[in-house]
RNA sequence: GGGCGUGUAGCUCAGUUGGUUAGAGCGCCACCAUGACACGGUGGAGGUCCCGGGUUCGAGUCCCGUCACGCCCACCA
């Protein structure tokens, strides 16, 4: 035991073991394993444009404990890691740290270098750069971010196989993503449509339903009068968006509403703009809302879109991609007064336009009373700052059941094929799928992403024929249609009549990350890895992205493979700050893990993380981290102590009753932990293991150490030594998934190889543990007596009188010798009757001098 | 408005098909230099299990209802 330090310490063990594991390839995936020997994990690729915060540490630790358990159970664990680096989040970060913005109309500038790297002055106006320059900058910045991430993931002790690293903007990801899309297209699951689309006017891109959120914002009801042509008065509406009056195409009320039934089929004149619009009936109009009659604009909200579609109304959209009102007076405004009114809002943003329209309405007397302020929910892009507008655009969609009940039902049924941990998370999936109101919009008018791999033929006038899609051969993927040519064309035909044009869009970041199982496993990449690992065993992720990542992955797998992409979905909760508020960047309460890792050590942080139940939001609790550190320290000291007794003689085994009982209890603990882990409940496994370990240290070791010192002869000592070592051997392995650093440290004091490649301990041991509880109770009673007498625990007891039922006394007597040692008891008296108890007579303290 | 979850000691949380006196850790209080650990150990105090009904021999646990909090969805005229 020459390896055991005099003063064991946790300092520096992270670096040492990180390097050792990497050098030994401890977590390398075995490509020769068959599918049934594999446990495959669809690791979430963290978004590198954000910071890795304590929430990542939390959920990644959960997965890692399961991975380590499965590895020790004999599985070949496929545990890749990837970086999610494409998408708008990265673009924003790049804009913020380099002071540029992408202008796709500019040509590539080979000599370009970014004006800043990190500290962009507040008054700096972003420098426009070409798309290729911008993408290059994105790659540079993400590469730097990824190095930081790699360091933290390693420091966390995640047992990922670094040779499996992928990025979502990397070549393979682009190829897999484009291949997946083209297959969807070929099967009719992807289609394009020119339709009103929710659109972020700041980012200038369409947005999918899954990326939207409602925010309560201040608004105001404005009562506005529409004039009847019979001169018999007005129809009055309440609107929060008076600025859209110029886009009004109709008025609508409920068909059963007697107040408005007389007007259905008639027309009215819009205020200010003097456009004649019909009064129509539709069941979605709510008699309770506002005045009971509404104006339909193209487009103020999604109900407008429904009305527009179902009532076959004309499109009079005025707000363009730049979020401003068209600068020319539209043709449907025909009167001089109407044109004059429009001229005053032309080119304005919606807010400005609203002020102007209200002013005009007040002047003309067509607004009744003052605006009544309200707070109402408005749709925003989740990363956006201004409300979404609805703009008619051509976009690509993937069918996800949002417009097809049969597909929706099939996807919900797919959800049932997955085992959810915890099980109630499945409701969130069902809810989301059941509530979809459209297909998945996958095209984005952005730059740093996987390009939509398509071109369109141009007609004789040079106009794109979107129905004439030119598709690349899969063997040529990945393609960038802005620089690559479709087969049969040359680059000089780009943009010229009779030639072609590339699709300018990239795909939604989820359109790529929905294929993480396929990317990580090199699907269709001339590699058998996919067959070895797909469908995967486990998808770990946060419950907040069930609607996006989980659902999108399910959709792609359902279309492509006809099965769910994994067998289990393990949902992690969030980290709340100590005041139980959700951590988020905007609240400024995000805790970065690096300081905590340094302060308490990785194992301690992992202990805290693993104490959080699956799916449950958990408060950041430094107290738990202290406990974790205490546990790791205890393992060092307890191991040192047990090993210090030396090796038992060859062939020795546990023979004394309490030694056998302890091993029986340990076997039971192993069984409990194993069952919990198999159900992905790492927290329960830890709880069981930890409880055993503390009992082992506090009671068992205290009881038998006298015997282990040979106080009762060699045979009794041999039994204790054998039991102690067997228990230690098991404890080290049980704690290994949670405390990977300290367990490998102590393991290597007396064993060879990494504890992480050992076999998970066996339970199912015969033996009776029933003597342990009453024995602990007597130990406690003796200790209590000494504490109450303010005596040292070492104080000598002349007589201990133990009372209780005969069966319990018999059990406790099995440990009489050990009890005598541990309690320094000279003589025991055993008295049958009453409850189990113990009274103690302390020996007189010898007078000093 | 629909769905889901949570509510147990000052704090963070366990409590498995209902079963003696409801548990752990932290914190708090008191004590202890005992052959691994003072970054330690021992003991103690501390609870109307949100509230109200019901089922049952028996309810923290099951059922109904209420309240509070959190999340998801819907609600934009």
pLDDT at A3: 76
Please report, rounded to whole angstroms, the spatial distance between the CA atom of protein residue A61 and the C1' atom of nucleotide B61: 31
Residue A288, nucleotide of least CA–C1' distance: B77
Structure tokens at A824: 């320094």
At A124-179, the pLDDT tens digits run 889 999 988 999 999 999 999 899 899 999 999 999 999 999 999 999 999 999 99
Count other C-beta atoms under 10 Å from residue A403's C-beta. 13
Residue nearest to nucleotide B24 (CA to C1'): A691
Q: Which nucleotide is nearest to A684 (CA to C1')?
A: B14
* Nucleotide in closest CA–C1' contact with A304: B77
Closest nucleotide to A378's CA, by C1' atom? B76
Å separating the CA of residue A635 from the C1' of nucleotide B23: 24
CB neighbourhood size of A123 (10 A)? 5
Q: Work out the average pLDDT over A781-799.
A: 91
Under 8 Å between Cβ of A551 and A433: yes
Rounded distance in angstroms from the CA atom of residue A422 to the C1' atom of nucleotide B54? 30
Phi, psi of A582 (to 5 degrees): -65, 135
> Contact, A578 vs A619, CB < 8 A?
yes
Q: How far is the CA of A452 from the C1' of B5 (A)?
A: 40
Residue nearest to nucleotide B37 (CA to C1'): A637
Residue A847 has pLDDT above 50, yes or no: no
CA of A630 to C1' of B40 (A): 10
Given this model, what pLDDT does residue A848 score? 43
CA of A692 to C1' of B14 (A): 15
What is the rounded CA–CA span in Å between residue A126 and residue A132?
A: 17
How confident is the model over A109-124, as a mean pLDDT? 87
Nucleotide minimizing C1' to CA distance for residue A422: B5
> Residue A224, CA: closest nucleotide via C1'?
B77
Distances in Å between the Cα of A157 and the Cα atoms of A63, A485, A604, A833 are 12, 46, 12, 55
CB A309 within 8 A of CB A250: no
Q: Estimate in Å the CA A780 to C1' B30 gap, whole number.
A: 17
**What contacts 24+ positions apart, CB below 8 Å, involve A145-153?**
A145/A48, A145/A49, A145/A83, A145/A85, A145/A93, A146/A48, A146/A83, A146/A85, A148/A52, A149/A46, A149/A48, A149/A52, A149/A83, A152/A52, A152/A593, A152/A594, A152/A597, A153/A52, A153/A60, A153/A81
A488 sits in the region (left: phi over 0; alpha: psi -120 to 50; else beta) called: left
Protein-to-nucleotide distance from the CA of A225 to the C1' of B43, whole angstroms: 81
* A319 DSSP assignment: B
Q: Which residue is nearest to nucleotide B3 (CA to C1')?
A: A431
Distance CA A403 to C1' B77 in A = 24
pLDDT of A587 above 70? no
Please say if the pLDDT value at position A1 is more than 50: no
Q: Which nucleotide is nearest to A295 (CA to C1')?
A: B77
The upper half-sphere exposure of residue A327, i.e. CA atoms within 13 Å in the direction of its Cβ, equals 2
Convert the pLDDT of each residue in A504-527 to its tens digit: 999 999 999 999 999 999 999 988
Decide: helix, strand or coil at residue A228: strand
Whether the pLDDT of residue A68 is over 70: the answer is yes
Q: At what angle do helices A682-695 and A622-644 cross, to 10 degrees?
A: 50
Quick one: pLDDT at residue A849?
Answer: 37
DSSP strands (E only) in A234-361: 234-239, 248-253, 267-269, 276-281, 293-297
- Find the Å distance, CA of residue A429 to C1' of nucleotide B63: 27
Average pLDDT, chain A: 92
Query: Using one digit for the tens of pLDDT, what is the confidence trace for A643-670?
Result: 999 999 999 999 999 999 999 999 999 9
The residue that minimises its CA distance to C1' of B77 is: A294
Which nucleotide is closest to the Cα of A611 by its C1'? B13
d(Cα A633, Cα A697) in Å, to the nearest integer?
12
Q: Write out pLDDT tens, residues A535-579.
A: 999 999 988 889 999 999 999 999 999 999 999 999 988 887 666
Task: Say if residue A845's pLDDT is above 70.
Answer: no
Rounded to whole angstroms, the Cα distance separating A198 from A388 reads 6
Q: Which nucleotide is nearest to A387 (CA to C1')?
A: B76
Greater pLDDT, A59 or A123: A59
Nearest residue (CA) to C1' of B33: A792
Residue A585's pLDDT band, with cuts at 50, 70 and 90, is low
CA A634 – C1' B36 distance (Å)?
9
Nucleotide nearest A783, from its CA to each C1'? B42
Distance CA A605, CA A475 (A): 46
- What percent helix, strand, coil does chain A show, rounded to 5? 40, 20, 40
CA-to-C1' span, A625 to B49 (A): 27
Q: Nearest-CA residue to the C1' of B32?
A: A792
Closest residue, CA to C1' of B5 = A424
Judged by C1' against the alpha carbon of A642, the nearest nucleotide is B36
Closest to A739 in 3D by CA, of A642, A639, A609, A641: A609
Taking the CA of residue A19 and the C1' sugar atom of nucleotide B24, their distance in angstroms comes to 36
Q: Which two tokens stand for residue A711?
A: 């106080």
Which candidate, A149, A168, A183, A155, places its Cα nearest to that of A51?
Answer: A149
Task: Measure, in angstroms, how far nucleotide B64 C1' is from residue A424 CA.
Answer: 22
Nucleotide nearest to A217 (CA to C1'): B76
What would the two tokens of residue A287 be?
């008699």
Compute, in degrees rounded to 10, the torsion defined by CA atoms A264, A266, A267, A268.
Answer: -80
The integer distance in angstroms from the CA atom of A614 to the C1' atom of B64 is: 30
Rounded to whole angstroms, the Cα distance separating A817 from A825 reads 9
* Nearest protein residue to the C1' atom of B26, measured from CA: A623
End-to-end CA distance of chain A: 42
Residue nearest to nucleotide B15 (CA to C1'): A684
Cα(A832)–Cα(A264) distance, integer angstroms: 96
Residue A400: CB partners within 8 Å, gap ≥ 6?
A: A407, A411, A436, A439, A440, A551, A552, A555
pLDDT at residue A49 tops 90: no
Please give the pLDDT value at position A150: 92
pLDDT of the residue at A675: 92
Rounded CA–C1' distance between A390 and B17, in angstroms: 54
Q: Where are the beta strands (DSSP E) in A88-232?
A: 100-102, 127-129, 166-167, 190-200, 205-206, 212-228
**Do the strands A212-228 and A367-381 form a parallel or antiparallel pair, or are they unpaired?**
antiparallel
Asked if A268 and A296 touch (Cβ cutoff 8 Å), the reply is no
Residue A550 DSSP one-character state: I
Nucleotides on strand B with an atom closer than 7 A to protein CB?
2-6, 11-15, 21, 24-27, 30-37, 39-44, 70-77
| Nucleotide lying nearest to A425, CA to C1' measure | B4
Task: Please write the tens of the pLDDT for every residue from A328-355.
Answer: 999 999 999 999 999 999 999 999 999 9
pLDDT, residue A684, reads 93
User: What Å value separates CA A705 and C1' B64?
Assistant: 57
For residue A211, the model assigns a pLDDT of 86
pLDDT in tens, A286-337: 888 889 999 999 999 889 998 998 899 999 999 998 899 999 999 999 999 9
């Amino acid at each position: 035991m020459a390896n055991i330090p005099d003063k064991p310490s946790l300092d520096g063990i992270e670096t040492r073991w990180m390097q050792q594991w990497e050098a030994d390839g401890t977590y390398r995936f075995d490509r020769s394993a068959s599918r049934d020997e594999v446990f495959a994990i669809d690791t979430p690729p963290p978004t590198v444009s954000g910071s890795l915060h304590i929430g990542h540490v939390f959920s990644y630790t959960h997965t890692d404990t399961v991975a380590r358990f499965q590895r020790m159970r004999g599985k070949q664990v496929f545990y890749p890691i990837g970086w999610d680096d494409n998408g708008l989040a990265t673009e924003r970060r790049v804009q913020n740290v380099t002071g540029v913005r992408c202008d796709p109309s500019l040509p590539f500038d080979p000599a370009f270098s970014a004006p800043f790297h990190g500290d962009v002055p507040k008054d700096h106006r972003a420098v426009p750069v070409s798309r290729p320059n911008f993408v290059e900058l994105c790659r540079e910045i993400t590469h730097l971010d990824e190095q930081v991430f790699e360091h933290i993931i390693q420091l966390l002790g995640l047992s990922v196989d670094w040779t499996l690293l992928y990025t979502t903007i990397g070549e393979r990801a682009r190829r897999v993503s484009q291949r997946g899309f083209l297959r969807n297209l070929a099967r009719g699951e992807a289609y394009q449509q020119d339709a009103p689309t929710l659109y972020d006017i700041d980012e200038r891109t369409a947005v999918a339903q899954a990326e939207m959120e409602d925010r309560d914002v201040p608004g105001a009801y404005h009562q506005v009068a529409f004039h009847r042509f019979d001169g018999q008065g007005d129809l009055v509406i309440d609107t929060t968006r008076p600025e859209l009056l110029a886009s009004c195409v109709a008025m609508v009320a409920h068909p059963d509403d007697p107040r408005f039934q007389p007007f259905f089929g008639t027309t009215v004149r819009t205020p200010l703009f003097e456009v004649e619009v019909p009064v129509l009936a539709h069941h979605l109009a709510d008699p309770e809302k506002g005045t009971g009659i509404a104006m339909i604009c193209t487009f103020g909200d999604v109900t407008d879109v429904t009305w527009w579609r179902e009532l076959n109304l004309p499109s009079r959209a005025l707000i363009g991609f730049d979020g401003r009102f068209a600068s020319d007076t539209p043709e449907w405004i025909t009167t001089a007064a109407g044109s004059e009114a429009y001229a005053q809002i032309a080119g304005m943003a919606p807010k400005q336009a609203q002020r102007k329209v209200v002013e005009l309405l007040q002047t003309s007397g067509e607004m009744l009373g003052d605006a009544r302020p309200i707070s109402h929910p408005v749709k925003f892009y989740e990363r956006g700052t201004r409300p979404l507008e609805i703009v008619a655009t051509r976009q690509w969609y993937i069918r996800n059941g949002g417009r097809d009940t049969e597909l929706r039902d099939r996807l919900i049924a797919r959800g049932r094929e997955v085992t959810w941990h915890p099980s109630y998370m499945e409701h969130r999936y069902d809810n989301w799928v059941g509530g979809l109101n459209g297909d998945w919009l996958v095209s984005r008018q952005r730059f740093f992403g996987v390009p939509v791999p398509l071109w369109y033929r141009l007609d004789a006038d040079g106009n794109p024929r979107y129905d004439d899609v030119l598709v690349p051969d899969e063997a040529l993927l990945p393609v960038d249609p802005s620089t690559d040519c479709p087969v049969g064309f040359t680059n000089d035909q780009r943009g010229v009549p009779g030639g072609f044009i590339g699709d300018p869009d990239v795909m939604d970041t989820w359109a790529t990350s929905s294929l993480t199982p396929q990317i990580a496993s090199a699907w269709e990449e001339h590699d058998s890895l996919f067959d070895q690992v797909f469908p995967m065993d486990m998808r770990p992720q946060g419950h907040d992205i069930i609607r996006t990542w989980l659902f999108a992955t399910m959709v792609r797998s359902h279309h492509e493979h006809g099965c769910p992409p994994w067998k289990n979905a393990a949902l992690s909760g969030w980290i709340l700050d100590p005041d139980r508020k959700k951590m988020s960047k905007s609240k400024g309460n995000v805790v970065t893990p690096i300081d905590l890792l340094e302060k308490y050590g990785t194992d301690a942080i992992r202990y805290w993380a693993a104490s959080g139940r699956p799916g449950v939001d958990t408060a950041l609790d430094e107290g738990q981290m202290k406990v974790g550190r205490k546990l790791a320290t205890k393992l060092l000291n307890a191991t040192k102590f047990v090993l210090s007794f030396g090796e038992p003689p060859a062939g020795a085994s546990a023979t004394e009753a309490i030694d056998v009982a302890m091993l029986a209890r340990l076997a039971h603990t192993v069984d409990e932990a194993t069952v919990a882990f198999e159900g992905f409940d790492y927290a329960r496994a830890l709880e069981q293991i930890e409880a055993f370990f503390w009992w082992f240290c506090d009671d068992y070791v205290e009881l038998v150490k006298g015997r282990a010192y040979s106080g009762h002869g060699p045979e009794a000592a041999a039994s204790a030594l054998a039991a102690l070592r067997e228990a230690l051997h098991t404890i080290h392995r049980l704690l290994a998934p949670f405390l990977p650093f300290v367990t490998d440290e102590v393991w290597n004091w007396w064993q060879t190889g990494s504890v992480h490649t050992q076999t998970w301990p066996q339970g199912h041991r015969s033996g009776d543990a029933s003597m342990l509880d009453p024995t602990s109770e007597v130990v406690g009673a003796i200790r209590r007596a000494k504490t109450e007498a303010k005596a040292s625990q070492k104080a000598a007891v002349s007589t201990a009188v133990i009372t209780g039922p005969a069966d319990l006394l018999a059990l406790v007597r099995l440990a009489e010798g050990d009890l005598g040692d541990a309690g320094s008891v000279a003589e025991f008296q055993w008295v049958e009757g009453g409850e189990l108890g113990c009274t103690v007579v302390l020996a007189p303290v010898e007078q000093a001098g």
